């Protein structure tokens, strides 16, 4: 008797199997992507009316916690936002600001299955017009793993020794084909913050990097919600 799987079970099995070679030379599963949603609060679906959490008097920056690989205190994140009504659905993957991402409860369920214990979730209430098909909940996410996956010796055109000290970042340029990554090891994360070669500085302004294995499955589940141009083949 053929086993019947739910849609979520199918995509979870896909990502667990995608790391097995061989791949085609152009297979996107071999690429490394920046976790970059297409929908942005800067342009497409603005958020407004931020409300603080009980006891908050102001919002502190979350960046230093992210840079140090530590959980972000909820005091860094507003309790709620109003979402400007638009004539389309609220996305499940949403670019908020400064490389920070909000995901729906639907996306959280999948991410928890594919990358368990890799993400901190802080609930945010989004006041959304029901015509935008909102999910049951929304979460600010902080990706906790960090790793050194760039093959610096094979990436001759970039330097690991020139961090911007104000922001503790090294920019390597998404899409630069001269940047090479090591093959994924058995215990390497599927999504992570890239560390500089000889310091704890973050690469690419602290953006989250993602193996093509996971990117492909998220793209299948939430089509059109991830920007495919931020990648290294």
Taking CA atoms, 155 is separated from 1, 34, 108, 158, 180, in Å, by 50, 18, 34, 6, 5
Question: Distance (Å, rounded) from C-alpha 225 to C-alpha 233?
Answer: 20
Residue 219 lies in a domain: yes
pLDDT at 138: 98
**Structural domain count of the chain:** 1
pLDDT for the residue 91:
96
Q: Let me know if residue 22 belongs to a domain.
A: yes
Determine, yes or no, domain membership for 200: yes
Q: Please tell me the predicted confidence (pLDDT) of residue 1.
A: 52
Cα dihedral 203/226/102/30 (nearest 10):
-50
Please give the model's pTM, rounded to 2 decimal places: 0.84
1 found inside a domain: no
Position 2 in a domain:
no
| β partners of residue 208 | 193
To the nearest 10°, the Cα dihedral for 188, 35, 169, 178? 80
Residue 168, pLDDT score: 45
Q: Does residue 133 belong to any structural domain of this protein?
A: yes
If one counts every other C-beta atom within 10 angstroms of the C-beta of residue 168, the result is: 19
Exposed e or buried b for every residue in 49-72, given b needs 16+ CB within 10 A?
A: eeeebeeeeeeeebbebbbebeeb
Q: Which residue range is the domain that position 56 belongs to?
A: 7-232
Q: Report yes or no on 138 lying in a domain.
A: yes
Joined tokens for residue 2: 């053929």
Beta bridge partners of 202: 169, 195
In a domain, 42, yes or no: yes
pLDDT digit of tens for each residue in the chain (233 aa)?
556 666 666 665 655 555 554 444 456 778 899 999 998 877 789 999 999 998 888 888 888 888 888 899 999 999 999 999 999 999 999 999 878 999 999 999 999 999 999 999 999 999 999 999 999 999 999 999 999 998 888 886 666 545 444 444 456 655 566 788 888 888 889 999 988 877 777 777 678 999 998 999 999 999 999 999 888 86
């Amino acid at each position: 008797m053929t086993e019947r799987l739910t849609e979520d079970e199918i995509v979870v099995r896909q990502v667990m199997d995608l790391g097995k070679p061989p791949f085609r030379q152009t297979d996107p599963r071999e690429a490394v992507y920046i976790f970059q949603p297409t929908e942005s609060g800067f342009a497409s679906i603005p958020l407004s009316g931020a409300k603080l959490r009980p006891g908050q008097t102001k919002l502190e920056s979350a960046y230093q916690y992210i840079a140090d690989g530590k959980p972000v205190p909820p005091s860094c994140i507003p309790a709620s936002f109003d979402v400007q009504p638009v004539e389309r659905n609220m996305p499940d993957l949403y670019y908020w600001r400064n490389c920070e991402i909000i995901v729906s409860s639907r996306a959280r369920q999948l991410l928890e299955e594919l990358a368990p214990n890799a993400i901190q979730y802080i609930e945010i209430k989004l006041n959304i017009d029901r015509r935008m098909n909102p999910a049951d909940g929304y979460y600010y996410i902080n990706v906790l793993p960090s790793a050194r996956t760039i093959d610096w010796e094979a990436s001759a055109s970039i330097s690991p020794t020139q961090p911007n000290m104000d922001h503790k970042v090294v920019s390597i340029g998404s899409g630069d084909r001269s940047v090479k990554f090591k093959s994924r090891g058995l215990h390497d994360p599927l999504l992570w913050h890239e560390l500089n070669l000889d310091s704890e500085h973050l690469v690419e302004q602290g953006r989250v990097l993602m193996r093509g294995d996971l990117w492909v499955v998220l793209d299948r589940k939430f089509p059109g919600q991830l920007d495919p141009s931020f990648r290294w083949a």
